[in-house]
Amino acid sequence: QDQLQQKIICPGPVTCLTASPNGLYILAGVAESIYLWEVSNGNLLAILNRHYQDLTCLCFTDDSSHFLSGAKDCLALVWNLYSVLQAEPSQIPDPRHVWSRHNCGFGGPLARAATASLDQTAKLWEISSGELLLSVLFDVGIMAVTLDLSEYHMFCGGMDGSIFQVDLCAWPVQRDRNFQTERENGKVFKGHRNQVTCLSVSTDGSLLLSGSHDETVRLWDIQSKQCLKTMNHKG
């Protein structure tokens, strides 16, 4: 069947873009504003202006009920989608939580979110309460972060090209940790020659995909930390 083509004109360069897992909504970051569209008809539903500098990342939670926004103002905001949709056009709804000192956020499974920052930390948060669950300090700035589906591990991409694996079920439980690379050799993926900017884990938790400013995409075996394939990508 012929498909109806929808074209959405943005008011400026888009710095980040994501779609809700249920396929109903699209979010885009344009300068310091968040734009929310409905996929079925292309209607603009909301413009959110709560960041003070350009957006760097947007992500939905798996159930599409919340989304996170990160910007160069070092804030990560948690938004309730239904509160945004129900707000009056003349009102800007308040985010559910405001997490400071971080400029990048990714929604994790269930009710947790991981954020990364150039302050050399990665943090794990509980969306429902806004509580900080874990803070890990590294030797380098962190550009990307993701969780595996079972939430056993957090993977963090560094400015130096390293990828660090943090065990979330380690004992004893500590809210503040230091990741010392020289003592954690079995938990570091080495191969990229420049900063790692995006990460994704397969649903079975066995493979890790990473993208870097060295213009390569690498596929890793998580258990052995070996690079299985390298794909060149110019730009």
> 157-186: per-residue pLDDT in tens?
999 999 999 988 877 777 888 887 767 767
Of 51, 82, 100, the residue that ends a domain is 100
Could you report the per-residue pLDDT of 133-158, keeping only the tens digit for each?
Answer: 889 999 999 989 998 887 889 999 99
- The token pair at 157 is 């991409």
* pLDDT for the residue 101: 52
Of 68, 83, 100, the residue that ends a domain is 100
Tokens 């380690």 correspond to: 170
Report if residue 1 sits inside a domain: no
Q: Is a pLDDT exceeding 80 seen at residue 80?
A: yes
Q: Using CA atoms in the order 213, 216, 217, 223, what is the torsion angle rounded to 10 degrees?
A: -100
Could you report the per-residue pLDDT of 88-113, keeping only the tens digit for each?
Answer: 877 778 888 887 755 444 444 446 78
Kindly state whether residues 141 and 209 are assigned to the same domain.
yes
Q: Is a pLDDT exceeding 50 seen at residue 230?
A: yes
Amino acid at 105: G
Kindly state whether residues 108 and 217 are assigned to the same domain.
yes
Of 79, 100, 121, the residue that ends a domain is 100
Q: How far apart are CA 232 and CA 29, in angstroms?
A: 27
Q: Is a pLDDT exceeding 60 seen at residue 76?
A: yes
Phi, psi of 197 (to 5 degrees): -115, -10
Whether the bond into 95 is cis, omega within 30 of 0: no
* pLDDT for the residue 194: 94
Judge whether 55 and 31 are in contact, CB under 8 Å. Answer: yes
Kindly state whether residues 206 and 221 are assigned to the same domain.
yes
- Structural domain including 24 reads 6-100
- The token pair at 188 is 């570091």
From the number of C-beta atoms within 10 Å of its C-beta (0-12, 13-18, 19+), residue 41 rates as exposed
Judge whether 58 and 34 are in contact, CB under 8 Å. Answer: yes
Among residues of the chain, what percentage have pLDDT more than 90?
Answer: 46
Instruction: Work out the pLDDT band at 234, boundaries 50, 70, 90.
Output: confident
Q: Is a pLDDT exceeding 80 seen at residue 66?
A: yes
Question: Domain total for the chain?
Answer: 2
